[in-house]
Amino acid sequence: MNVLGIETTCDETAAAVVCPGEGGRGRILSNEVLSQIAEHAAYGGVVPEIAARAHVEVLDRLIVRALDGAGLRLSDVDGIAVAAGPGLIGGVLIGLVTAKTLSLVARKPLIAVNHLEAHALTARLTDGIGFPYLLLLASGGHTQLVAVKGVGDYVRLGTTIDDAIGEAFDKVAKLLGLGYPGGPEVERMAESGDPERFALPRPMLGRREANFSLSGLKTALRIEAEKIAPLSSVDVADLCAGFQAAVVDVIVDRLRVAMRDFTDVAGHPTALVAAGGVAANGAIRRALTTQAGEAGLAFVAPPLALCGDNGAMIAWAGIERLRLGLVDDLTAPARARWPFAEPVAAA
């Protein structure tokens, strides 16, 4: 079973071909990703119109490259999977219309994939882990703790009530005059900083529910920065280190709550999994590895190349759904918003 995956929900244009491999894992035959960082850097964030135009300009060539890299023709694939949301609606439409066209012309099944579900299932692509597992899904637009019980069966144990973790990193980077994308820049500066210099809060620490709140932490950092302005490079490094340390503490605390709630909805987890762009952060990975070890769980995170948006995760989610006969017709809608997990109260 070879599936073509297409991803255009934000500022990466991606296409990949994946097939099942050994041990329950997937085998990535090709994985083409074209980033738009250069196009958006001057604006300090993603501009939807620019992103959509860039997808139009390169998507067809990227699909050809993915098929060539896999040594296949379109007629050789068994399905066409596409991220149908959530995301920037212009980009989502471009990917979805392209996938529908290919599906119609080649007479191949169409699988409209939830972008968040694809992140959630990436650990099965890379490590072949079994259900159920506890997932921290953290990116620029989403922060959730989820019990992954099976394909299409997800219970949200906690979410952010304001900023996503990746969004908070990006906003802090912009506040401190760092480059775009902000997350890697904050992490880089934090490596040489003193995380204890500034007394930054740990929002939601000790709360019963596994939710996050990061806007207060971001505001506290802004106040500290304004007190000592103009900022030296040492000041910026210390602020970044303090912010990152606070985020790590919050994640660990929220994770402990989610682990307790997990057993009520899904039994004992097989692993602790991190996915999404924030899963590339080294400090967060180390903290999650420690937390998993203390809980007697394996920690699984994708290789860095698969933490961000990519076509391979879409193709793999397509394989998971195609195996179960979960295919879509040409009326499948593009969705700017598309929740993929039911809240814990509905479990």
DSSP labels for 21-58? -GGG-EEEEEEEEEE-HHHHGGGTS--HHHHHHHHHHH
Range of the domain at 86: 3-122+305-340
Q: Are 97 and 191 contained in the same domain?
A: no
Query: What pLDDT is stored for residue 347 in this prediction?
Result: 39
Task: Please report whether residue 346 resides in a domain.
Answer: no
**Angle, CA of 117, 183 and 295, to the nearest 5°:** 60
Mean of per-residue pLDDT scores for the chain: 95
Task: Please report whether residue 79 resides in a domain.
Answer: yes
Q: Are 80 and 172 contained in the same domain?
A: no
Query: Which residues share a beta bridge with 27?
Result: 19
Confidence of residue 37 (pLDDT cuts 50, 70, 90): confident
Orientation angle between helical segments 182-190 and 233-266, nearest 10 degrees: 110
The rounded distance, in Å, linking the Cα atoms of 169 and 163 is 10
Task: Please report whether residue 345 resides in a domain.
Answer: no
Integer angstrom CA distances of residue 312 from 25, 60, 126? 12, 17, 10
Domain of 211, CATH number, reads 3.30.420.40
Q: Are 71 and 200 contained in the same domain?
A: no
The rounded distance, in Å, linking the Cα atoms of 60 and 67 is 11
**For tokens 């590895």, what's the residue?**
289
Confidence of residue 40 (pLDDT cuts 50, 70, 90): confident
| Least reliable range by pLDDT among 27-41, 245-259, 306-320 | 27-41
Q: Are 13 and 32 contained in the same domain?
A: yes
Structurally, the chain folds into a number of domains equal to: 2
Q: Are 159 and 297 contained in the same domain?
A: yes
Coil, strand or helix: which one is 268? coil
Q: Are 12 and 88 contained in the same domain?
A: yes
pLDDT (average), residues 90-98: 97
Task: Please report whether residue 127 resides in a domain.
Answer: no
The pLDDT tens digits for 181-222 are 889 999 999 999 999 999 999 999 999 999 999 999 999 999
Tabulate helix, strand, coil % of the chain (nearest 5): 50, 20, 30
Task: Please report whether residue 347 resides in a domain.
Answer: no
The rounded distance, in Å, linking the Cα atoms of 99 and 167 is 29
Q: Which residues are CB-contacts of 86 (< 8 A; sequence separation ≥ 6)?
A: 9, 92, 114, 115, 116, 141, 335, 336, 337, 338
Q: Are 172 and 221 contained in the same domain?
A: yes
Burial of 73 (0-12, 13-18, 19+ CB in 10 A): exposed
Query: What pLDDT is stored for residue 345 in this prediction?
Result: 59
Rounded to 5 degrees, what are φ and ψ at 272? -100, 125
**Angle, CA of 82, 146 and 115, to the nearest 5°:** 10
